[in-house]
Chains A and B, each alone.
Chain A
Amino acid sequence: MNKIKALFCVIIPIALAFLFNTKLGSMPPVLKFLNPFMGFWQNAENNHFMFNHKAKIKGAIDKIEIVFDDRMIPHIFAQNDHDLYLAQGYVTAMHRLWQMDFQTRFAAGRISEVVGGKAIEVDRYQRRMGMVYGAENSLKGMMADPKAKEMILAYTEGINAYIKTLSKANYPLEYKILDFKPEDWTPVKCALLLKQMSAVLAMGSDEFYMTNILKKFGPEVTKNLFPDYPFREDPIIPVGTKWNFSSLPIPKTPESFTQAQTGEVKTTEKVEGIGSNNWALSGAKTASGYPILANDPHLDLTLPSIWYQIQLHAPGVNTYGVSLPGAPGVIIGFNQKIAWGVTNVAADVLDFYQIKFKDSSHNEYWYNNKWKTTTKRLETIKVRGGKDEIDTVYYTHHGPVVYFQKPKYGRADNVPVGDALRWIAHDESNELMTFYYLNRGKNYNDYRKALTFYTAPAQNFVFASVDNDIAITPNGKFPLKWKDQGKFILDGTDPAYDWQGWIPNAQNPTVKNPPRGFVSSANQSSTDTAYPYYINWEFAPYERGKRINDRLSAMNKATLDSIRLMQTDNYSIMAQNLVPALLPLLNNEQLNATQKEALAYLNKWNKRYDAHEIAASVFEIWTKRLSYDIWADEFEVKGIPMRYPSRDRTVEMILKEPNATWYDNVNTAKKETLSDLANEAFKYSCDSLERRFGPINKDWEWANVKQSNVPHLAKIPGFGSKVLQIGGAKSTINALGESNGPSWRMVIELGKMPKGHGVYPGGQSGNPGSKFYDNMIDTWANGKLYDLFYMQSPDDKSGTIISRLKISK
């Protein structure tokens, strides 16, 4: 009896220890997490006292001083390049270690290692799209260049030096929640991070949908509804710019090919999310007589912030701007002489090839009238609390065959089954050198030289210098294609369908000091139709670009404030185009009281998506519904995933083709007209708002309908921002959606001493227990900018310093 009692007295405490030390489902190990000595309470940072620190890093060559200003932005002063990037790695890890680790694990398809089997499809997708394969290739390119190699190795060394200082108690919070450990940084992680940017910005692919459309509707309808150049456009390179080069011969178009397999997926309306604005004004249009450059890249907003502000100072370089946690150097920023920024180019650098395999072993495929062998790449996916999963991916000379069977995973919807992927991000590349040279650039020639190193994701690089040069270049490594190559799925058996070489970098579209006195981009078409090469058949809609160009054309004696106000401009060109066409179609007599009141708001509307506008809410839902009413009956067919025609084409049809057959709903006996649809959609909009919020009241205001907020990177509740009451919309310059929008707003006034201004929705620290986690959000939401503190020496007194970190050997 006593033996049993004694046994129980031992078992119970052990069981308790085990129970509260184990992660159960998504719940962290309870007492391990709540333990104030090592658990989450340790991540609560002191808000009131900052201390100076010293650190010893063996690899440091000389003394390094890092000064933190009152927004916790590090200003690094080093004696050589090696120490500069070592220190950048060290401070970035200090503030953002979990984010860097998690993002690169995600890129490499290693999330199952952390969260278990539920992430297996996510990991398979990343692996099968060739993310690791691409990163390995890319790393070869970086390591072949001595400067890039030094940068990456020093940066890696800095991150690992920081990781070594960590004890369990000061692991970043998310490690404690997800119950895993930081691992050493490796150079391939830098490459993975850059590949992930390619995946975010250049993984779009409509060819599967387009092939289905071509098969269902035939070439004429396809050409009519999906034209190769938009109805309205205001291209990045001003119309009429002459091309002063003799172009390479354009490859011949082979005969069309439409055969493709289709799977069971739903049609998706193309979501406009990733996009950006940038522009530069020449001194002739500014009050100071020196150029002003502005940039706001739009991305899915997260906390910790996507960007990390930093100043890098060493002999030969003094640059300030934003970096990506996980990559050395400054990506968007300025120095004493120049400023630069980027927006995405929707270049078609991702194609699918239909592959004819000899048999189900997939060992050989038909190409150029011969059987060619595939190579196999084994992807081992570790699963937490489960067995490793080994996935075999077959590679053709095009690239990996992504799927033989369609998975149930949203991001894989646009991937055709059995087809091989040719993607620019699989190629060897060395983008870091572009930023290395831009960071040190002094003039236009340095800018042009820097761009030659860049492969992907293609960007519109805007530039301004103190010499009063401005320029913009849609830049990247663009495959030499025949027109529309890659609009549909390509034939993988015929060499004529392969990429036929590259557009020479010097012949990428570019313009320097155009007569209009400014350059700009907002992801719209790179050029007019006179450019000899094919980059893509469709770019982002033109409205933002048009509004930017309208405003800049009218602007003279521009100042910081005129540019800042422009970045938060909520005026909608789309509303300007559509409101006058749609309002007359509404049948006033058939509207109920609420609908009439909503119509009155629309009649008075200034076409701005400002926070308090009720008309903007009604208009937004109305036009979305109208697009659905027009296209859903034809383009949503079970088992044939397709996409809708573009917004540009829809607007063109509404304005110019009142009798188009597409207005008729093919599922009803009645013959519908545009007017029928416009009325239905308007009522739908008002009714859905009324159901949600009751009769028209404050809750109908656009900001409340939109619910803008900045969520946590891993969507942990409580770690995101509150709902922000702010305006803006996808089709306006201030392209702010629910949780997508300007991830960094920057305005640089060049001059004898450059003046930088910027803000992002978040903070420098990635720790939710720091006051610097989200301290800049309100300034960002209010459309204000901070003055950036561009220091000339560690003792520069022009800004507020809150702490110093001295690193020595």
Chain B
Amino acid sequence: MVFIVILIICFLLQMVAPWWIIIVIAFATCGIIGKTGKIAFWQSFLAIFLLWIGYALFKSLPNDNVLAGRVAVMTGIKIWWALLLVTGFLSGLVAGISGYCGYQFRMAMLAKKTDEKIA
């Protein structure tokens, strides 16, 4: 569920919003519907990993990966598909961590409320 929600919302919002919207969305989604920490991390990670790689390929394949090849040389990564993996992995990681943080944030807030009730 988290996976699908993040994938769709990020895809739509990224058309207009800056990249860090993925952090906001992963955090909020997992904060609201995240079931476990594991799910929050991995589903956020996968959603953005696939979204970014998929969209990058959508731009890069019709270009015969000419640009990706040049930028790969610039960054020292050398090979275009390695650059593609770095793109997916880094963005996925950031989304995953944000999702996990969102989930943990909710848990902390809930715990706080329970604490207050008990008190």
B-contacting residues of A (Cβ < 8 Å)?
2-3, 5-6, 8-10, 12-14, 16-17, 20-21, 30-32, 34-49, 173, 177, 716-719, 768-769, 771
Q: Is the CB of A36 within 8 A of B104?
A: no
Q: Is the CB of B62 within 8 A of A32?
A: no
Give bound CA distance, A49 to B14, whole Å.
Answer: 25
Q: Is the CB of A16 within 8 A of B64?
A: no
Give bound CA distance, A6 to B115, whole Å.
Answer: 14
| B60 cross-chain contacts in A, Cβ below 8 A | 41, 44
CB under 8 Å from chain A, chain B span 56-70:
56, 58-60, 62-70
With contacts A2-B115, A47-B63 known, is A21 near B20, CB below 8 A?
yes
Give bound CA distance, A718 to B98, whole Å.
Answer: 34
| A46 cross-chain contacts in B, Cβ below 8 A | 62-63
* Nearest chain B residue, comparing its CB with the CB of A27: B75
| A14 cross-chain contacts in B, Cβ below 8 A | 23
**Residue from B15, B67, B112 having most chain A Cβ neighbours under 10 A:** B67
| A47 cross-chain contacts in B, Cβ below 8 A | 62-64, 66
> Which 5 A-B pairs have CB atoms at the shortest separation, nearest pair first?
A718-B73, A769-B67, A44-B63, A9-B105, A35-B19
| A42 cross-chain contacts in B, Cβ below 8 A | 59
With contacts A44-B59, A718-B73 known, is A36 near B67, CB below 8 A?
no
With contacts A2-B111, A17-B20 known, is A10 near B63, CB below 8 A?
no
Give bound CA distance, A44 to B63, whole Å.
Answer: 6
**Residue from A13, A34, A177 having most chain B Cβ neighbours under 10 A:** A13
Give bound CA distance, A16 to B24, whole Å.
Answer: 11
Q: Can you report 14 residue pairs joining A to B where beta carbons are below 8 Å apart?
A: A2-B109, A6-B108, A13-B102, A17-B20, A20-B90, A31-B19, A31-B90, A37-B19, A44-B63, A46-B63, A47-B64, A47-B66, A716-B74, A718-B73
| A8 cross-chain contacts in B, Cβ below 8 A | 101
| B105 cross-chain contacts in A, Cβ below 8 A | 6, 9-10
* Nearest chain B residue, comparing its CB with the CB of A13: B98
Q: Is the CB of A34 within 8 A of B90?
A: yes
With contacts A16-B94, A768-B70 known, is A32 near B63, CB below 8 A?
no
B48-59 near A? 1/0 per residue, CB < 8 Å: 000010011011
Give bound CA distance, A173 to B59, whole Å.
Answer: 14
Q: Is the CB of B86 within 8 A of A34?
A: yes
Interface size class of B (residues with CB under 8 A): 35 or more
| B86 cross-chain contacts in A, Cβ below 8 A | 34
With contacts A10-B101, A13-B101, A16-B23 known, is A31 near B70, CB below 8 A?
no
A423 to B: closest C-beta gap in Å? 37
With contacts A718-B73, A718-B74 known, is A37 near B14, CB below 8 A?
yes
B43 at interface by CB-CB < 8 Å:
no
With contacts A13-B101, A46-B63, A48-B62 known, is A36 near B87, CB below 8 A?
yes
| B14 cross-chain contacts in A, Cβ below 8 A | 35, 37-38
| B63 cross-chain contacts in A, Cβ below 8 A | 44-47, 769
CB under 8 Å from chain A, chain B span 91-110:
91, 94, 97-98, 101-102, 104-105, 108-109
Give bound CA distance, A3 to B66, whole Å.
Answer: 50
Q: Is the CB of A771 within 8 A of B66?
A: yes
Q: Is the CB of B55 within 8 A of A38?
A: no
Give bound CA distance, A8 to B74, whole Å.
Answer: 35
Main secondary structure of the interface of B (DSSP, over half): helix
| A717 cross-chain contacts in B, Cβ below 8 A | 73-74
* Nearest chain B residue, comparing its CB with the CB of A44: B63
| A41 cross-chain contacts in B, Cβ below 8 A | 55-56, 59-60, 67-68, 87
- Of the candidates B19, B26, B62, B91, the one whose C-beta lies within 8 Å of that of A38 is B19
A-contacting residues of B (Cβ < 8 Å)?
14-15, 18-20, 23, 26-27, 52, 55-56, 58-60, 62-74, 86-87, 90-91, 94, 97-98, 101-102, 104-105, 108-109, 111-112, 115
| B52 cross-chain contacts in A, Cβ below 8 A | 34-36
Give bound CA distance, A71 to B91, whole Å.
Answer: 37
* Nearest chain A residue, comparing its CB with the CB of B51: A36
| B56 cross-chain contacts in A, Cβ below 8 A | 36, 41
| A719 cross-chain contacts in B, Cβ below 8 A | 70, 74
A215 to B: closest C-beta gap in Å? 48
Give bound CA distance, A265 to B61, whole Å.
Answer: 52
A800 to B: closest C-beta gap in Å? 21
Q: Is the CB of B59 within 8 A of A36?
A: yes
Additional pairs, 12, CB under 8 Å, beyond known A36-B58, A45-B63: A13-B26, A13-B97, A13-B102, A20-B20, A31-B20, A31-B91, A34-B87, A34-B90, A41-B87, A47-B62, A718-B74, A768-B66
Q: Is the CB of B18 within 8 A of A13?
A: no
Q: Is the CB of B62 within 8 A of A12?
A: no
Q: Is the CB of B66 within 8 A of A44?
A: yes
A646 to B: closest C-beta gap in Å? 41
Give bound CA distance, A576 to B64, whole Å.
Answer: 48
| B20 cross-chain contacts in A, Cβ below 8 A | 17, 20-21, 31
Give bound CA distance, A122 to B103, whole Å.
Answer: 51
B20 to A: closest C-beta gap in Å? 4
| B109 cross-chain contacts in A, Cβ below 8 A | 2, 6
| B101 cross-chain contacts in A, Cβ below 8 A | 8-10, 12-13
B8 to A: closest C-beta gap in Å? 14
Give bound CA distance, A43 to B62, whole Å.
Answer: 12
Give bound CA distance, A48 to B59, whole Å.
Answer: 12
Give bound CA distance, A39 to B23, whole Å.
Answer: 17
Give bound CA distance, A703 to B107, whole Å.
Answer: 68
B9 to A: closest C-beta gap in Å? 13
| B66 cross-chain contacts in A, Cβ below 8 A | 44, 47, 768-769, 771
* Nearest chain A residue, comparing its CB with the CB of B112: A2
| B19 cross-chain contacts in A, Cβ below 8 A | 20-21, 31-32, 35, 37-39
| A21 cross-chain contacts in B, Cβ below 8 A | 18-20
| B98 cross-chain contacts in A, Cβ below 8 A | 12-13, 16
| A13 cross-chain contacts in B, Cβ below 8 A | 23, 26-27, 97-98, 101-102
| B70 cross-chain contacts in A, Cβ below 8 A | 718-719, 768-769
| B62 cross-chain contacts in A, Cβ below 8 A | 44, 46-49
Q: Is the CB of B68 within 8 A of A30?
A: no
B102 to A: closest C-beta gap in Å? 7
A365 to B: closest C-beta gap in Å? 50
A15 to B: closest C-beta gap in Å? 10
Q: Is the CB of A5 within 8 A of B91?
A: no
Q: Is the CB of B102 within 8 A of A718?
A: no
B56 to A: closest C-beta gap in Å? 4
A37 to B: closest C-beta gap in Å? 4
With contacts A47-B62, A718-B72 known, is A37 near B112, CB below 8 A?
no
| B15 cross-chain contacts in A, Cβ below 8 A | 37
| A39 cross-chain contacts in B, Cβ below 8 A | 19
* Nearest chain A residue, comparing its CB with the CB of B20: A17
| B58 cross-chain contacts in A, Cβ below 8 A | 36
Q: Is the CB of A3 within 8 A of B67?
A: no
With contacts A21-B20, A42-B59, A769-B66 known, is A9 near B104, CB below 8 A?
yes
Give bound CA distance, A718 to B74, whole Å.
Answer: 5
